[in-house]
Amino acid sequence: MEEDGFLSASRVALWGLGLMGGSLAMALKGHCARIDGIDADPETVALAQEWGVVERGSTRPEDVLPNADLVILATPVRVILAQLADLPRLHPGQAVVMDLGSTKQAIMAAMAALPDRFDPLGGHPMSGKEKSSLRYAEASVYRGAPFALTALPRTSQRARQLGEELVRAVQARPLWIDPAQHDRWVAATSHLPYLLSSALARCTPPEAAPLVGSGFRSTARLAGSSTRMMADILATNRQNIRAALARFRSELDQYDALLEAGALDEMVERMNEGVERYQKLCA
């Protein structure tokens, strides 16, 4: 266990024990005083306790939350918004409240409405899998990944430090970012890729399955993501995603025009520009 810092003394309540919440609990083992968990699914709670993911699990938030001084909301975005609305009734004391939601503006606005006894901190790990169940959780899912952190003017220095300690404990890389900028960027780097994967899967003829290889599988992988989770993301980041779609549609139209004209030299030049941009983005 860490000797210094706020994390080592923290009693953590993870509200949501799916892939991301379960993985976080696994990665935080030995870094905090206690980890308890809440999930609406009794089977998930039972599995989390059987595997030792949490010390105590419950389907009832009121059984776990009052003992926590760090509450982490690890559910789909619109569920997080409902949890934030319920939190003052369920937790009578003081706590740092952190989320792992994939969009930040709506969540941070809801956090701003919390009573002063709560210390708000937004978070979004840029990691995960297309599978969302606890059964696919693993501590290494956060390793080396960017972990966005967002704050409100009222967010204390203690909460900021606690957030950074947590991110480093799970071997991710902290990135402080404005909520609006976060949502613009993830529209391009996460939400648009999901829609492209889904569209690719939908427009590929089923009879082409014998020729599906690694290229198709890696490009279409995100189509297997939880549609419930993605619906929440689309609902809370619509305008940014539509802007990203418009930029992508323009690129496709230009490729289509070059193909129609048989302008292969220009096509190659454009593809080379894509190679350069890819290398810069993924360096």
Three state DSSP letters for the chain: CCCCCCHHHCEEEEECCCHHHHHHHHHHCCCCCEEEEECCCHHHHHHHHHCCCCCEEECCHHHHHHHCCEEEECCCHHHHHHHHHHHHHHCCCCEEEEECCCCCHHHHHHHHCCCCCEEEEEEEECCCCCCCCHHHCCHHHHCCCEEEEECCCCCCHHHHHHHHHHHHHCCCEEEECCHHHHHHHHHHHHHHHHHHHHHHHHHCCHHHHHHCCHHHHHHHHHHHCCHHHHHHHHHHCHHHHHHHHHHHHHHHHHHHHHHHHCCHHHHHHHHHHHHHHHHHHCC
> What's the pLDDT score for residue 127?
85
> What's the pLDDT score for residue 4?
61
**pLDDT over 90 (residue 133):** no
**pLDDT over 60 (residue 1):** no
**pLDDT over 60 (residue 116):** yes
Cα dist. 198→113, 135, 183, 244, 272 in Å? Answer: 35, 24, 20, 15, 26
Q: How confident is the model at residue 138 (pLDDT cuts 50, 70, 90)?
A: very high
Q: What is the mean pLDDT of residues 111-117?
A: 98
**pLDDT over 80 (residue 130):** no
For the chain, what is the radius of gyration of the CA atoms? Answer: 21
Q: What is the mean pLDDT of residues 57-65?
A: 96
CA distance 24 to 38: 13
Q: What is the mean pLDDT of residues 202-231?
A: 94
Domains and CATH numbers, the chain: 7-177 (3.40.50.720), 182-281 (1.10.3660.10)
Q: What is the mean pLDDT of residues 119-139?
A: 88
Q: Tens of pLDDT along 88-102?
A: 999 999 999 999 999
CA distance 231 to 261: 38
**pLDDT over 60 (residue 135):** yes
pTM recorded for the entire structure: 0.92
**pLDDT over 80 (residue 3):** no
Q: How confident is the model at residue 132 (pLDDT cuts 50, 70, 90)?
A: confident
- Strands 118-125 and 56-58, by their bridges, are unpaired
**pLDDT over 60 (residue 19):** yes
Structure tokens at 140: 């290494």
> What's the pLDDT score for residue 2?
41
> What's the pLDDT score for residue 128?
72
**pLDDT over 80 (residue 280):** yes
The candidate with the shortest Cα–Cα distance to 172, out of 190, 137, 146, 150, is: 146
Determine how many CB atoms are found less than 10 A away from the CB of residue 242.
12
Judge residue 203's burial from the number of C-beta atoms within 10 Å of its C-beta, 0-12 exposed, 13-18 middle, 19 or more buried: exposed
> What's the pLDDT score for residue 283?
83
**pLDDT over 60 (residue 47):** yes
Lowest model confidence (mean pLDDT) among 3-7, 8-12, 206-210, 234-238:
3-7
Q: How confident is the model at residue 75 (pLDDT cuts 50, 70, 90)?
A: very high
Encoded amino acid at 187, one letter:
A
